Amino acid sequence: MDRGFWRGKRVLLTGHTGFKGSWLSLWLQSVGVELLGYALNPPTTPSLFEVARVSEGITSVIGDVSDYEHLRQVVVEFQPEIVIHMAAQTVVSTSYLDPVANYKTNVMGTVHVLEAIRQVNSVRSVVVITSDKCYENREWVWGYRETDSLGGYDPYSSSKACAEIVTAAYRNSFFNPNDYSEHGVAIATARAGNVIAGGDWTANGLIADIVRSLLQNQAVQIRNPYATRPWQHVLDALNGYLMLAENLYNKGTAFTEAWNFGPYESSVKPVGWIVEHMMSLWGEGAAWELDQASHFHEQIALSLDSSKARLKLGWCPKLSLEAALEQIVSWSKAYQAGEDMNQLTKATIRQFMEMDS
């Protein structure tokens, strides 16, 4: 990313109180963005948003993307140049428990964000974050490409496919690339893998479950040690989103499509490998056991082909899976020791940015 590009830009980030949103908020703060975050209260206790004091230095608006009128008012008053739509219901198991709320947030929330953008003339770049789970999962051993079919077995996955379709419809109908000279808005979607980092307390998330159990000196309960996922550090995915937003702003229609941001094949590992590696890094007292309870349906194999992002955007992952897991353990132990997590998290972001120089 070009740090100079972001200085002084007016950016609206939905979902800023979540795990990914908190990391991105701290990053955007560090490069001088005028940032307005719009989201519900933090979804977990504890949360990275509160632990790392993310609200310092930004305008934080507590609101629901399902509330169109409130969202519209905020967008009209703020007049953003760049919109990164990250607000979502993000947990597969939660989508089974409350599918209506899942679709209301992930589908209609996306409609509301795009409709609000239509009410202003300030926006030039829009990135809608969906998920690697938006693809029709055929349990392939190779990575899905942006041209593969959308789908979803469970409500969460299908809602993310729906968000992709909604975005494409708005782009075609109201922000058509052929009419770019008239509206000046470039819209793309981004699909990342399983992002991991310190500060994740998401319910039923693997890393969150592992860290929570380790901090409480309990054995980690694992549902499916054989499921494989495209694991990547959150900063690698966020770097892709920011590079995409820059290119949409500067070059417009050349980038108005879907983009995968996944790790290298070497980081596509089974859950069991992740658990064993985390146990080894944590040290004495770490243990795990198989959870014998019945669970919701989960896909076994999933990975992304990010060739397009590497070729056209010049994006590539910087952190290996091993380095990402080491960072999680060190972050979690620092939190356990009562260190200043705002400064530590910002230092992690600075170190990541310096990998460019």
**Residue 357, pLDDT score:** 47
How far apart are the C-alpha atoms of 129 and 261, rounded to whole Å?
A: 11
Contact 240, 314 (CB under 8 A): no
At 40, list the tokens.
Answer: 């519900």
How far apart are the C-alpha atoms of 36 and 5, rounded to whole Å?
A: 17
Burial of 350: CB neighbours in 10 Å, binned 0-12, 13-18, 19+: exposed
**Fold observed for domain 3-354:** Rossmann fold (3.40.50)
Alpha helices by DSSP H, 79-205: 92-97, 99-103, 109-117, 155-173, 180-183
The residues, any chain, with a CB within 8 Å of residue 82's CB and separated by 6 or more, are: 9, 10, 11, 12, 123, 124, 125, 126, 127, 245, 249
At 74, list the tokens.
Answer: 């905020």
Q: What are phi and psi of 78, to 5 degrees?
A: -80, -30
Q: What is the mean pLDDT of each run of 10 residues along the chain (357 residues)?
A: 94 98 98 98 95 96 98 98 96 92 97 98 98 89 92 94 98 98 98 93 86 86 83 97 98 96 90 91 81 60 90 96 96 96 97 84
Name the residue ranges covered by the structural domains of the chain: 3-354
Of 167, 153, 185, whose CA–CA distance to 106 is shortest?
Answer: 167
Amino acid at 30: S
Task: Label residues 74-102 b or e (16+ Cβ within 10 Å = b).
Answer: bbeebebbbbbbbbbbbbbebbeeebeeb
Contact 120, 74 (CB under 8 A): no
Contact 91, 19 (CB under 8 A): no
User: Which residues are paired to 14 by β-bridges?
Assistant: 38, 85
Amino acid at 44: T
**Residue 293, pLDDT score:** 64
DSSP string, 38-83: EEPSPSSSS-HHHHTTTTTTSEEEE--TT-HHHHHHHHHHH--SEE
Q: CB 216: neighbour CB atoms within 10 A?
A: 7
Burial of 69: CB neighbours in 10 Å, binned 0-12, 13-18, 19+: exposed
pTM: 0.94
Of 33, 16, 22, 67, whose CA–CA distance to 245 is shortest?
Answer: 33
Amino acid at 65: V
